[in-house]
Amino acid sequence: MQHRSRGKGLWAIGVAGAALVASLATAPAGTAGAQYGGPPITLTVGLVQDIDTPNVTAGYLVSSYELWNLQYATLTDKAADDFSTIPGLAESWEASDDGLTYTYTLRAGLTWSDNEPLTADDVAWTINTSRDQEWLNHYSVTQNLTATAIDDVTVEITSAVPDPKLPTMDVYILPRHIWEAPSEGDITTYEALDGVGSGPFVLQEWKPGQEWVMTANGTYWGGQPAIDQVVFRVYTEGSTMVAALQDGELDVAHLVPAELFVQLQSEPGIVTVAGAPGGFSELAMNGMAGGLGDGHPALLDINVRHAIAHAIDRDALFDRVALGIGQREDTIGASADPVWTPEIPADQQLNYDPVEAERLLDAGGYLDTNGDGVREMPGGGQPLRLRYAERSESSQGPPLREFITAFLAEVGIATEVSVFDDTQLTDIIARGEYDLFVWGWTPFVDPDPLLSYFTCDQVTTDPDNPLYNDANWCSEEYDALYTEQNQELDRDRRIELVHQMITLFHNEATYVVLYHDADTQAYRTDRFEGWLQQPSGTGPVVFTNSSPTYANLRPIGSEAPTDTTAPGDTAAPGDTTAPGDTTASGGTAPVSTVAPAAPADDDSSTGLIIGILVGLLVVVGGVVLVLRSRSGRDDRE
């Protein structure tokens, strides 16, 4: 979900002291660095969005999903090339004759990163507890499921209704021995900094607003990763992030601003990827279905919403803000697979037509009676002056606001703009204290989860417990279609139902979809190989649906560790995922066979070096070794 930068440490080291530090930084036996004969190996990722929480029951940002993808394995996984269902924690499964029960057999010898056994009991507890407590990021999958641990390696999952998603089970499995105690209270308040998981990497440290660090999980069922840690570094400016990539301080950058992405396309040693994950940006209007807040009453009129849609030149936004990177679509993307996206009939399209927008407003009695250029409610009441919330964490936020507010002004609708970070905007939406905002979503592969966000059950009625229906829109017709598709086993019929839902949502115009976003990413070719697009040829390389790149990466010119079993090795027939660089633009860039040394100012290089230096005051040859750490930033408010 995409509801949609760096200090430097100072090192004063004598020559002898530097030699001592270098010797102490040699990778411990068993790490990826040791296998390649060098220090611990770090992949550094740049991004402009911090995680909101490591807690998988409470977070919602795309950045948080990347953390969870790496830390928590799922019962079944998704192939990198085409999203097909492949073994994960479960190596096999069988269906009952009626299709309502699946029996999964776990891999033998599974353990959590703290060496506690990972058993069918963890799986059953996660599914049943998430169902009973309605965990935000599990419930759309588990709401009708009952799981039973038959023995340590066998779990039986039965659905109360036909479930077209089965046998796919892609909810994050959590360690019961860690999470059971917090779940007895308000599980959403658990900090989840325990760092215990079953994926290729686990959380070591989080500095809100700065970075989070994940270290290789030596017990990962897929084998020892070829890198020892991943540092996710948060930048407040996309330009600063791109400069760090160009300087070699980053290995990959996520959500590169469009104009800089175009420039990077011709830069040697950098590969650009315009991934298509199905995500979209929308102008949302407050539908006020939950009874909270103080949205403008004009937005309850569908003709006003249609007028706003007609007033916005989305072709201009796509060409001049997104620079033509992405896809020009008018409907929500409910899946990374475009088969679920309908084609809106010509007579239902809400294309740019300011004349039609003014006609709709005039016909509804929204006139400018005092000549100030702003229309009022029928009868000369409240002006059509709408509060517009702009996201500070979006590089496209300012230009989108400039265009959209200008388009609305042309048809007599005024705006009052306020700027908020993601946390602040989430709170404002939960309270219903807005009229318009621009944000976006990135969907899962199956359309069900994103479609569930717009049901009446997901309208927030308690600001302290915000739900996903951020436009506060409710439709009994939509809900009935959602329930039907949720249980429809015939794929063609289900696609038809989903198309009806998305068309209905489009026609209601509570969201005006601006365009489908591209995940603009860029990575260097001088340190690592094995970048994977998901899906192959069109998807991003990082921040994908199941994030397979990280476990597939290895240093340039190295052999894969001999004890590594790639996650796809036990895949079902037809999985053709293979290591190697695939790109969405320009093909595979030339790569160097020699990996350069890490930048000298990499203040998040390795936990080993920092741990040694923080604890020591070393005097070597009369020279004092001093470490000054960078100052921290406050948590976002």
Asked which of 141, 171, 189 is the last residue of a domain, the reply is: 189
Distance CA 557, CA 68 (A): 30
Q: Is residue 306 domain-shared with residue 435, that is, in the same domain? A: yes
Least confidently predicted of 67-76, 196-205, 457-466: 457-466
Phi, psi at 180, each rounded to 5°: -65, -40
Higher pLDDT, 47 or 33: 47
**pLDDT value at position 482?**
97
Query: What angle do helix axes 491-508 and 476-486 make, rounded to 10 degrees?
Result: 160
- Rounded to an integer, what distance in angstroms lies between the CA atom of residue 286 and that of residue 294? 9
- Closest to 508 measured CA to CA, from 306, 308, 359, 296: 306
The dihedrals phi and psi of 492, each to the nearest 5 degrees, come to -65, -45
State yes or no: pLDDT of 267 exceeds 60: yes
* Tens-digit pLDDT profile for residues 575-614: 333 333 333 333 333 222 223 333 333 333 333 333 333 3
In a domain, 146, yes or no: yes
Q: Is 556's pLDDT higher than 60?
A: yes
Average pLDDT rounded to a whole number, residues 63-75: 97
What is the mean pLDDT of the segment spanning 255-275? 96
562 pLDDT band, cuts 50/70/90, is very low
Residue 299, domain CATH: 3.10.105.10
Query: Out of 25-39, 156-170, 202-216, which region has the weakest mean confidence (pLDDT)?
Result: 25-39
What residue type is assigned to position 23 of the chain? S
> How many Å apart are CA 293 and CA 282, to the nearest integer?
21
Predicted pLDDT at 277: 83
State the pairing for strand pair 101-106/42-47.
unpaired
Asked if residue 109 has pLDDT above 90, the reply is yes
How many domains does the chain contain in total? 2
CB 382 within 8 A of CB 376: yes
- The per-residue pLDDT for 32 is 66
Query: What distances in angstroms separate CA 527 from CA 36, 269, 456, 501, one per listed residue?
Result: 13, 10, 49, 46
Q: What whole-number distance in Å separates Cα of residue 207 and Cα of residue 216?
A: 19
The per-residue DSSP string of 292-346 comes to -S---GGGGSHHHHHHHHHH--HHHHHHHTSTT-SB--SS---SSSGGGPPPPPG
Say yes or no to pLDDT of 521 above 90: yes
Residue pLDDT, tens place only, 311-325: 999 999 999 999 999
Rg (CA), the chain: 26
What does the pLDDT average to over 341-366?
Answer: 97
pLDDT in tens, 440-498: 998 989 999 999 999 999 999 999 988 999 999 999 999 999 999 999 999 999 999 99
**From its phi and psi, is residue 520 left (phi > 0), alpha (psi between -120 and 50) or beta?**
beta
The string of pLDDT tens digits covering residues 81-99 is: 999 999 999 999 999 999 9
The enclosing domain of 143 has a CATH number of: 3.90.76.10
284 and 168 in a common domain = no
Question: In this structure, is residue 62 part of a structural domain?
Answer: no
Is the pLDDT at 193 greater than 80? The verdict is yes
Q: Give pLDDT tens digits for 470-484.
A: 999 999 999 999 999
Tell me the pLDDT band of 36, cut-offs 50, 70 and 90: low
Residue 33 is predicted with a pLDDT of: 66
Mean pLDDT (whole number) for 122-138: 96
Which stretch of DSSP H or E encloses residue 550? helix 549-552
Residue pair 31/88 in contact by the 8 Å Cβ criterion: no
Residue 365 sits in the same domain as residue 475: yes
What is the identity of the amino acid at 285?
M
Please check whether residues 185 and 287 belong to one and the same domain: no
pLDDT of residue 34: 59
174 & 298 share domain = no
169 and 312 in a single domain? The answer is no
- The backbone torsions φ and ψ at residue 625, rounded to the nearest 5 degrees and listed phi first, read -90, 125
Of all residues in the chain, the percent with pLDDT exceeding 90 is: 76
Cα 55 from chain centre: 14
Angle, vertex CA 281, rays to CA 275 and CA 283, nearest 5: 175
Domain assignment of residue 121, given as a range: 90-189
pTM for the predicted model, two decimal places: 0.76
Average pLDDT over residues 133-152: 95
Does residue 30 belong to any structural domain of this protein? no
Looking at this protein, which amino acid is placed at residue 554?
A: R
Cis peptide bond prior to 354, omega within 30° of 0: no
Task: Look over the chain and give the mean of its residue pLDDT values, rounded to a whole number.
Answer: 84
Residue 245 lies in a domain: no
Is 321 domain-assigned? yes
Under the banding of pLDDT at 50, 70 and 90, the label for residue 25 is very low
480 shares a domain with 358: yes
Mean pLDDT of the 92-120 span: 97
Nearest-angstrom CA–CA distance, 393 and 43: 24
Q: Tell me if 560 is assigned to some domain.
A: no
Sheet holding 145-151, edge to edge: 90-95, 101-106, 154-159, 145-151
Q: At what angle do helices 302-311 and 397-410 cross, to 10 degrees?
A: 110
Are residues 307 and 420 both part of a single domain?
Answer: yes
Predicted confidence (pLDDT) at residue 241 exceeds the cutoff of 90: yes
Q: Are 173 and 119 in contact (CB under 8 A)?
A: no
For residue 42, tell me if it sits in a domain.
Answer: no
* Residue 153 forms part of a structural domain: yes
β-strands 252-254, 85-87 pairing: unpaired
Where b means 16+ CB within 10 Å and e means fewer, 13-45 reads: bbeebeebbeeebebeeebbbbbbebbbbbbbb
Rounded Cα gap, residues 484 and 478, in angstroms? 10
Domain boundary among 516, 538, 569: 516
CA distance 395 to 381: 37
**Least confident range of 2-16, 207-221, 364-378, 573-587:** 2-16
Verify that 339 and 484 share a domain, yes or no. Answer: yes
* pLDDT classification of 37: cutoffs 50, 70, 90: low
The pLDDT of residue 635: 29
3-state class of 441 per DSSP? strand
Closest CA to 369 of 412, 408, 330: 412
Residues 337 and 468 in one domain: yes
Boundary residue ending a domain (490, 516, 542): 516
> Does 183 lie in the same domain as 316?
no
Q: How far apart are CA 340 and CA 358, in angstroms?
A: 33
- 151 by Cβ neighbours in 10 Å (0-12 / 13-18 / 19+) ranks as exposed
Question: Do you find a cis peptide bond into 225, omega within 30 degrees of 0?
Answer: no
Tokens of 567: 């996650």
Measured CA to CA in angstroms, residue 618 lies from 20, 22, 116, 615 at distances of 10, 14, 38, 10
CA atoms of 147 and 169, how far apart (whole Å)? 12
Residue 515 CA, chain-centre distance (Å), reads 18
pLDDT at 29: 47
